[in-house]
Chains A and B, each alone.
Chain A
Amino acid sequence: MLELDAVTVRFGGLVALRDVTFTVQPGEILGLVGPNGAGKTTLFNGISGLTRVRGKILFGGRDVTRLPLHRRARLGIGRTFQIPQPMKHLTVRENLAVAQVFGAGRHDPARIEEILAVMELQQQGDRPAESALALQELKRLEIAKALATEPKLLLLDEVLAGLESQAKRQFAAKLKELHRRFGLTIVIVEHDIETISGLCSRAVVLNFGEIIADGTPAQVFRDPRVVESYTGTAHA
């Protein structure tokens, strides 16, 4: 589904990502883990086309490295932002309509209603996205917008942040439902080890822009380099 080959991103003298190479299989739920500043969001920006990268990004076997953002979205790469970026003055339904028309190339109101129902946003459908929604609703709208583009790959950037553990478990269950219902491949950035372990079949750990571990959640969270990157101390 997604192949990253030696993906590197530099901001002036700073190397934000260095030779990041891994593959995401179709249908997989992959956790992207790492401390703050590890390069997780930069990697999402590179995959979705917001940031230019060196190296190669293949999506469905097609080289998308030089494709602009909107073309990648139309090919099926959907993403959310850590800080929600709704189309502020449009209503929730209008947000989804724009995403569907331009991302999926069709207008299907029934599908929009289905997404609103799944994301529990039907009551908020006619409200302006910015002024009338709470933060968690905005996060659900981020996912709903991405779903409206009918993505094959969904990049979720800290959608569970700020939730209490019970709410987190419920939301993780919701993500599993989306994965099954829409036949998605998901890459999710998340800090919570329990959530990653319960949700993902595989985890990739970034630190200082480099991959330091790749395996099942149980494997990577036992890896001394991962423990060190989180605690700042060497594993005993």
Chain B
Amino acid sequence: MASLESAPAVALKAAPARSRVPGGAALGLGLLVLALLPVLMGASNYMLGLLISALILSGVALAWALLGNLGGMVSFGHAAFFGVGAYASALLSAKLGLPVLLTVPLGGLVAVVASLAMLPALRLSGPYFALAILAYAQIFRILATEASWLTGGGAGFQRYPGLPNVFGLDLASRTGSYLLLVAVVTLCALAYLAVRRSHVGLALRAIAESEDATRVVGVNSTVLKSLMLLLSAFITGVFGALNAHIIGFLEPDYAFSGVWSLMPIIAAIFGGYRTIVGPIGGAVIIYLFDQVVAKSLIAVGHQIILGFVLVVMVLAAPNGLLGLVRKGDRHA
């Protein structure tokens, strides 16, 4: 009898769509229009800088939500993939002279390789998986610090190229970086949508609810969850790499900071981690709120306000902002 391993085309084929699911084209177009608005409206470099950071966070939040929504895995260790992608891309471009537009996806691939070490943890569930991946992230921070001959260690690493000029558009400029990030976030969102709409996506959503119910009908849950971990690691690694080339400086305590694990969780839960638009929108809103509002209220330790916001959201709207909006629509 055929199986996923022998007949991936069947499993990856799009499942019949539900009417309420927005089309991929609509999602992509909506994201593009919303994202291009700041450029068209002539936003300042400061505002574009904030949006660039917000989009980096959006990408990681999307990757985190993909793992949580499709497969039910809660990660506290995405900083590992982020940092590995960042260092890999920076080192490959600096030491081997590879073009940055090649090293960015390679950074994602190296993050995938790094995530392979996490596969045994997929046998764990719930808090045990979360704890295992948290410990794993710390290992990479220590490695990056100790391998100072390669990474510069705690002193940091900065002699590597920035984003290049492509077809006359300077990707290193604020506008160029912003547009590049919009495109990459949109591509990742569409990839997520394609997976979610396939039978693999259906099975993964079912695994998150009841793993035995899916295994008993022939779903190899370990393989599917592994694939999602690898995809999530790849996306996170790519955004780590992009961030590295945008800011032009890396040090282990920054690249592997717990912030890259925690902020995506807050953003995804705030926006609605079961949706695709939720984590992206949540990241933009949370980041701008933190930088513009919270920071002006409490200069040091402003993240405490984010914690408060998260608690309120979890209690008042467990399905996130998007869930709240949809609920409002139904009651309207």
Contact = CB atoms under 8 A, between A and B. Distances in A.
B199 A102 contact: yes
A15 interface: no
B204 to A, nearest CB: 10
A91 B7 CA distance: 24
Contacts, number: 107
Of residues A98, A99, A145, which shows the largest number of chain B Cβ atoms within 10 Å of its Cβ?
A: A98
A227 interface: no
A106 B217 contact: no
A70 interface: yes
Given A70-B215, A70-B218, A145-B217, A102 B203 contact: yes
A68 B206 CA distance: 18
Given A75-B1, A101-B10, A105-B7, A89 B216 contact: no
Contacts of B221: 70
A79 B2 contact: no
Nearest to B11: A101
B15 A87 contact: no
A96 B217 CA distance: 9
Contact of B202 (A70, A76, A97): A97
Interface residues on A, range: 35 or more
B16 interface: yes
A48 interface: yes
B3 A50 contact: no
A73 interface: yes
A87 B206 contact: yes
A68 B18 CA distance: 32
A93 B6 CA distance: 24
A91 B1 contact: no
A73 B218 contact: yes
Given A86-B213, A88-B210, A102-B199, A97 B219 contact: no
Contacts of B146: none
Contacts of B170: none
A212 to B, nearest CB: 28
A69 interface: yes
Contacts of A79: 216
Interface of A: 48, 50, 68-70, 73-76, 78-79, 81, 85-91, 93-95, 97-99, 101-107, 109, 126, 145-146, 148-150
Interface of B: 1-4, 6-7, 10-11, 13, 15-16, 18, 199, 202-203, 205-206, 209-210, 212-221
